[in-house]
Amino acid sequence: MLGAMLQEAWRAMGANRLRTLLTMLGMVIGVGAVVLMMAIGQGAQYAVAQTISTMGSNIFVVLSGYTSVGGVRSGSGSAPTLTVVDAEAIAELDGVELVAPVHMGSVQMVYGSNNWNVWVMGSTPPFFDARSWALADGTVFTDSDVRAATRVAVIGKTAASNLFGEENPVGKTFRIGQAPFTVLGVLAPKGQNLEGRDQDDVLVMPITTAQRKVFGTPFQGSARQLLVKASSGEAMPAVEKGIEALLRQRHRLRDSADNDFTIRNLTAVADTAAETTRVMSLLLGAIASVSLLVGGIGIMNIMLVSVTERTREIGIRMAIGARERDILAQFLLEAVIISVIGCAIGLVLGIGGAALANQLAKMTVVVSGSSVLTAFGVAAGVGIFFGFYPARKAARLDPIEALRYQ
Amino acid sequence: MEEAVIRVEGLYKDYDTPAGPFSALKDVDLAILPGEFVAIMGPSGSGKSTFMNILGCLDRPTAGKYFLAGRDVAALDKDETARLRNRTIGFVFQGFNLLPRMNLTDNVALPLVYSAISHDERRARAQAMLEKVGLGGYAHSLPNRISGGQQQRVAIARALVNDPRLVLADEPTGNLDSHTGEEIMGVFNALNEEGITVVLITHEADIAAHARRQVRFLDGRVVHDAPTQPHRRPPSEASQRHPLPGEGGREEGALC
């Protein structure tokens, strides 16, 4: 029975090949678009997840306050309200794993005939752990380097390749102004951060060196930022409250005064970014689904035409013993075959398109098995859903009227 | 008394037309026994086609009873009447009504598809039927490649393929020239001699003369019902040229 019906459906589809192919094309485009969009959306989610994992987990950044001169308020970090001693106090709080004070700015570094403007981060050894930043080569500076403000640095991959080219930077000496600095190590690459800035274009040195010998900061022992790593995600809310209370107490702020610092939860930022890409991915899928819907309507349209054209045939079949469900199944099968074949072609094109986007546009794409299965299931569903009405119309024809139809 | 294949009692069929209600059949009583060969005659609008549609379980009467092989058709649901059309009744139409995209074997085998019979057996039975109507060599032709008479033979083969007890033919020679018409009537004669009950509609007296009983409709009523005069019945040349092999062993009452 099924064999005969498949043969029948094939014959009916072959009777008007161009029409069948055009109907199928609707499904091809719909499924292709869904697969491609889901690949791009999931790729974006994957890329963001990768970026987030480079930030280090369970991190707070405490920013120092702003100055207010005659009502004109400068941005965060313009007043040196945070100190290295604050950092030491925070390190004593429950749930705090590491604290690293950071002082930053940009300088011009020179090596031989090369020079490069780089972002300097002055900090302490816990900085590398807090940022989960591994070394590609060499070593990091030590606490004694911090105490002695030695002229040593750990260099990021981008900065290293710009300044040293193909040479191995470890042990090399470069200059900032007239002062010589020794490269202790090279950081493992992290790529772009969420704002799109290259995290590897960086020079990390002891905070004391940065303040005294590079920037000549008047407020020595201050810090623009404190990097605080909580011991776990669950500890973060308590740690945030603890830091706030501690700093208000240490800075002797009255109850009515505003905080002279800002606590930023990087995990929350990351969650927002992940949520944004998730929504974008859903949106892409939703837009692509519209074309799938249009493809389904195309199938319904053509099946209705087909039922009208084959009215007489339906009458003949009924007269020789076809039951309503036989006629229903015949037309439904045809709709499902069209949509499933269209879906298969669409899958191939969608995956091909994703591969092309990856090759040509360097997009991160992820074609998951679940998105392929979903596309197939949806296509079969679309075939049944949009094929049902025409098929039922065929099955409900009055055989006498149908036989009389010219 | 032998049970009638067809028995109708007090049959009415009313239609609503723009000009008001119209009765196509008015109080029709008729019984057709197994093995009969009946011609239903009458001018157009006399109700004979309506009657045929009811006999074929394609339509239901407004009032009255219809027993097909002893079963009250009014009590059957749509699937059961489809089953009757499939296995108990064979239809032959004026316009042949073959499916144009299918070859002759597939056309003949079509009723078997709805009887859940295996592919190989469908093929074999369809081929046997084509041979029986003298078209064994055309199995893979398409219907538009053969003549009208040949198409009607294929339609007869299709009507017979599921071994029905009753063949209903609606103006089977209406689209054929008189010579071909005679040939087709020869085929019906041969079938009837095998024991199949044949009921055909015609408005041509020559064609009706092949039947053994003639029923005439006028304005929705049976106005004449009598055996055909024996001397008017011509010899069945066609059936001699295309001998139908005897089947025998047809089980009475094996309806479905």
Residue of B nearest to A396 (CA): B78
Query: Tell me, what's the ipTM?
Result: 0.86
- Any idea which residue has 């005439």 for tokens? B216
The string of pLDDT tens digits covering residues A284-334 is 888 888 888 898 999 999 999 999 999 999 999 999 999 999 999 999 999
Which 3-state string (H, E, C) describes A320-359?
CCCCHHHHHHHHHHHHHHHHHHHHHHHHHHHHHHHHHHHH
Mean pLDDT value across residues B189-197? 93
Tokens of A327: 């006629």
3-state secondary structure of B135: coil
Domain ranges of chain A: 2-51+272-404, 80-259
In Å, how far is A370's CA from the nearest CA of chain B?
38
> Are residues A321 and B82, on separate chains, in Cβ contact within 8 Å?
yes
> How many CB contacts within 8 angstroms connect chain A with chain B?
63
Give me the pLDDT at residue B215, please.
94
Give me the pLDDT at residue B230, please.
61
Residue B248, pLDDT above cutoff 70: no
The string of pLDDT tens digits covering residues B125-174 is 999 999 999 999 999 999 999 999 999 999 999 999 999 999 999 999 98
- The answer to whether B41 and B203 are in contact (CB under 8 A) is yes
Compare CB distances from A15 to B59, B101, B111 and report the shortest one's residue.
Answer: B101
Give me the pLDDT at residue B249, please.
39
Q: For the beta carbon of residue B118, count every other beta carbon within 10 angstroms.
A: 12
Note if the pTM is more than 0.90.
no
Give me the pLDDT at residue B240, please.
45
3-state secondary structure of A162: helix
Residue of B nearest to A325 (CA): B79
Query: Which residues 119-148 of chain B have a CB within 8 Å of chain A?
Result: 119, 122
The string of pLDDT tens digits covering residues B203-218 is 889 899 999 999 999 9
Cα–Cα distance list, A19 to A156, A235, A294, A359, B235 (Å):
60, 64, 16, 34, 53
In Å, how far is A327's CA from the nearest CA of chain B?
10
> Are residues A1 and B110, on separate chains, in Cβ contact within 8 Å?
no
Give me the pLDDT at residue A76, please.
59
Mean pLDDT value across residues B46-51? 90
User: By C-alpha distance, which of A228, A211, A221 is closest to A121?
Assistant: A211
> Are residues B82 and A11, on separate chains, in Cβ contact within 8 Å?
no
Compare CB distances from B111 to A312, A320, A323 and report the shortest one's residue.
Answer: A320
In Å, how far is A336's CA from the nearest CA of chain B?
21
Residue of A nearest to B122 (CA): A4
DSSP code string of A65-76: ---EETTEEPPT
Residue B243, pLDDT above cutoff 50: no
A-chain residues near B159 (CB < 8 A): 320
Listed as ranges, residues in chain A with pLDDT below 50 are none
- Give the length of chain B: 256
Give me the pLDDT at residue A58, please.
83
* Residue, of B251 and B101, whose pLDDT is higher: B101
- The answer to whether A318 and A402 are in contact (CB under 8 A) is yes
Alpha-carbon distance of A38 to A368, in angstroms, equals 9
Residue of A nearest to B161 (CA): A320
Residue of B nearest to A310 (CA): B99
Compare CB distances from A321 to B59, B83, B93 and report the shortest one's residue.
Answer: B83
A-chain residues near B156 (CB < 8 A): none
Q: Does B97 touch chain A (CB under 8 A)?
A: yes
Q: Does B53 touch chain A (CB under 8 A)?
A: yes
Give me the pLDDT at residue B250, please.
40
In Å, how far is B65's CA from the nearest CA of chain A?
20
| Domains of chain B by start residue, with CATH | 1-88+164-175+191-240 (3.40.50.300), 98-163 (no CATH)
Name the band, by pLDDT with cuts 50, 70 and 90, for residue B247: very low
